[in-house]
Each structure stands twice: as C-alpha cells, then as structure tokens.
Amino acid sequence: MRGFFCSKLKYDTIAGLSIFAAVRIREVKNKKDKRDFLELPLHIYKNDPNWIRPLDKDIEKVFDPNENKLFRNGDATRFLAEQDGRIVGRAAVFFDKKTSQKEKQPTGGMGFFESINDKEVAFALFDSCVEWLKEQGMEAMDGPINFGERNNWWGLLVDGFTPANYCCNYNPKYYKKFFEDYGFKLYFNQYTYYREVEDELSDKIKAKTQRIFANPDYSFDHFRKSRLEKYAEDFLEIYNKAWVKHGVGKLKKAQAMAVFKQMKPVIDERIVLFAYYKGEPAAFFIMLPELNQLFKYVNGKLDLIGKIKFLYHKWRGACTKMFGVVFGVVPEHQGKGLEGAIVGYSSQIVQGGKTNYFDFEMNWIGDFNPKMMKLCENVGGRIWKTHITFRYLFDREKAFERHPIID
C-alpha cells in the first residue's frame, strides 16, 4: 500500500451530468503530507467554536520513533484521503505487539480520524486501516484511540460537546454514525465527570475524611518542585501497586521521573496530592490546570510567540479549571475511606476562594470500572462527557465481547 491508490468511487452530479469522483488514499510520506495531516482539522472545525486546535508537537511526537517507545515493538502509519484535489480526510493506524496479544484476538488501533461529512471518505479510510492491520497479522481494530497511553486521544465524543480538555478527543457529531454503519461495536463507554470546585462534599465523604484524619498513622502532603525526585518515586510505588493489576504496564523510575519533569512547568503544587500510611506512600490524586484554556490562544504552535501567549494568559488567570489526571490507592488501603479522605484534603486546599479554580473535570473513567465511577459520584461528580471506544472484528462471524468489568 504505497503512494496513491483508488479506494472508492462515487458519483457527483454537476449540471445534470454524472461524473466519477475518486476517493484516493495515500500514506503520509513527506513534510507536505505531515502539514496536510495537521491542518485538515482547520477546515473540518472552521465553524465550531468549541474546537481547540491541539499542539502540532503533541501529535507529531506520537508518530516519531525517537519519541514514542511503542515503535520498539510495533509500527504505525498515517493516511490522507483526497477527492477532487482536496484533502478531505485523515486517519492513523498502528499496533503494538505487547498489548495486541493480550486480547482474545491480536488487536491493533486506529485514531486521529477526521473526515468531511461523507461516508465514502470515512469508509475508504477505515478500509485502508483494516487492510494495513491485516498485513501486520491483526484480527481486530479499536478506535478511535491513541498509539500510546489511554490518558491521551482516546475515544469518540458522543455526548457533552463542550471544549475539549488537553490531549482529549473532540469531533463532529456525525462521526458516530460513520463508525456504527461501518460495523464497529461499542467496546466500552468513557465517562468524564464534572463538579464545581465549591460544591459541598457529601456527609459520607466528610465522615470518611474525619475518620482518616483522626488516625495518626495517616498523613497528607502536596507536591513541591524542589523535591521532584521524592514525589516521583512515591508516585511510582503507588502507581505500580494500584494500576498494574488492571492490565496497565508497570512503570520504571526513569519513566516516572520523565513524567514529572514534563509536567513540572505547568504543575500547580497545591493540587498534586499524596497520602501516606506510617510514612509509606498510600495514595495520590494528581490534578493539573486545564491547559487547553491556555493553549487555545496559540493555534497549535508552541513556538516563541506561542510561549509568550501561553505565559501571558496564564499570568492573567485565564485557567479556571482543574483537570484530574490520575488517581491511585494501593490495594491494602482501598475501601477504607482513604479515597474520600484525599478528596477531602483537596477541598481544604482549593475551596473557599483559596485558588482561582471554579470547575473540575476528571479524566475519563471506563464503564468497566464501576468502583471508580461510584467514587466519582460520591464526591459529587456527574457525567459531563461521554466518549466511546469502538472495536471492529475482521472476522464478521466471530462473537463480539465487550470490555470485561474489573474488580
């Protein structure tokens, strides 16, 4: 699958004459192709005030083997759809041998999908992704997802069409029908929960907070940039105990350090929280300022001018939303009230006008994780946005199974 090939043909009618209009698919190969891939959304969303252009560098690093470690055990390519000399669609397709083999059938992924409102264009892109994955030995395709961790670029937005959070998918409403008509099935729902910062915590959470606070074995702290390595190590210990059992890859110290160094320029020390039991790391609750409230002013470019704009809008207080990135409690302290207590600790820091944050959104929770959904509801969260991760089985006779529920 190299260069141009004719994937689909459709009839257009002009002045009563029927003519062929080919939808041609080609792989991204050069600088112009990369620019076309990045700039197509400018046309798709030109009349949508809720769309915020992602940073070009954030998308490009996904497809850079020097930046994305998944290329060590996998591969990716990108497609452009062209019709009548115009770029009318795009998609990326990828697989990682380690994760693909954990499924009942080897499963790859597709993402970064965009298309004009034309099913033929969308289907031509889907066909190209399926054929590419078949060549790699895959038997199914998830989408739209990321060639990377689940916290970024994951799922199709189907409800809650408000401005996207940083590195989160936003798309037109008509995409859902494309996926369903092609034959994708709902693999799991992803729920983004919302609450106002000043909303009062429930009596149940207050009681748990007071009980944990009264136990001298528990203590709480917030991040300090001057001790970055210490908190990165605490994060690593909690993360590997709390999340690996859910099929998430184990982190190494170098990776944890890299995560915190990357976040350091934008971290608000007050909202990166840790809990300890007898001095040992027991839980974390990591929130960040919602960066898209600042990045919306830079038009995808974090060059010198973009950085100046970013710093100016940060200085003037344009960021009024917190975004919950990740939450973790080590297994031996789960179900003991620590989850609620660390939320209670956060309320002491941010409520009462102590910060300029008014809104709080939490990184998506899959419907396969009912315990975490319940926690979000207990702290006053309500479903604000819904994304869907779809799955497409290449063997159309094979029985479809949804994502299993986790304990």
Q: If residue 186 lies in a helix (H) or strand (E), which one and from where to where?
A: strand 185-196
Domains of the chain: 5-190 (3.40.630.30), 198-357 (3.40.630)
Q: Which residue has the tokens 């609620």?
A: 340
CA–CA dist 280, 292 (Å, integer): 35
DSSP codes of every residue in 238-282: HHHHHTGGGTPPPP-HHHHHHHHHHHGGG--GGGEEEEEETTEEE
Longest Cα–Cα distance of the chain, Å, equals 82
Q: Which residues of the chain have pLDDT under 50?
A: 1-6, 9-20
Q: Which residue has the tokens 């709390």?
A: 242
Encode burial over 58-78: b for 16+ CB neighbours within 10 A, e otherwise: ebeebbeeeebebbeebbbbb
Asked whether 192 and 383 are in contact (CB, 8 A), the reply is yes
Q: Which residue has the tokens 């099929």?
A: 247
CA–CA dist 224, 227 (Å, integer): 6
Asked whether 84 and 21 are in contact (CB, 8 A), the reply is yes
Asked whether 63 and 76 are in contact (CB, 8 A), the reply is yes
Q: Which residue has the tokens 């409403």?
A: 173
Asked whether 313 and 234 are in contact (CB, 8 A), the reply is no
Query: Do strands 321-329 and 359-366 pair parallel, antiparallel, or not at all (unpaired)?
Result: parallel
Joined tokens for residue 384? 């604000």
Query: pLDDT at position 4, please?
Result: 41
Contacts (Cβ under 8 Å, ≥6 apart) of 136: 75, 95, 108
* Three-state secondary structure call for residue 200: coil
Residues 32-78 pLDDT 10s: 999 999 999 999 999 999 999 999 999 999 999 999 999 999 999 99
Query: Do strands 359-366 and 107-115 pair parallel, antiparallel, or not at all (unpaired)?
Result: unpaired
Q: What is the pTM of this model?
A: 0.88
The interaxial angle of helices 228-242 and 253-263, nearest 10 deg, is 120
CA–CA dist 81, 37 (Å, integer): 10
Half-sphere exposure of 179 (CA within 13 A, CB side): 31
Encode burial over 163-201: b for 16+ CB neighbours within 10 A, e otherwise: bbbbbbbbbbeebbebbeebebebbbbbbbbbbebeeeb
Query: pLDDT at position 13, please?
Result: 36
Which residue in 103, 155, 176 sits closest to 404, CA to CA?
103
Specify the amino acid at residue 222.
H
Beta bridge partners of 361: 194, 323
Q: If residue 328 lies in a helix (H) or strand (E), which one and from where to where?
A: strand 321-329
222 CB burial (10 A radius; 0-12, 13-18, 19+): middle
Residues 234-283 pLDDT 10s: 999 999 888 766 556 678 888 889 888 888 888 999 999 999 999 999 99
Phi, psi of 251 (to 5 degrees): -90, 150
Which residue in 180, 92, 99 sits closest to 128, CA to CA?
92
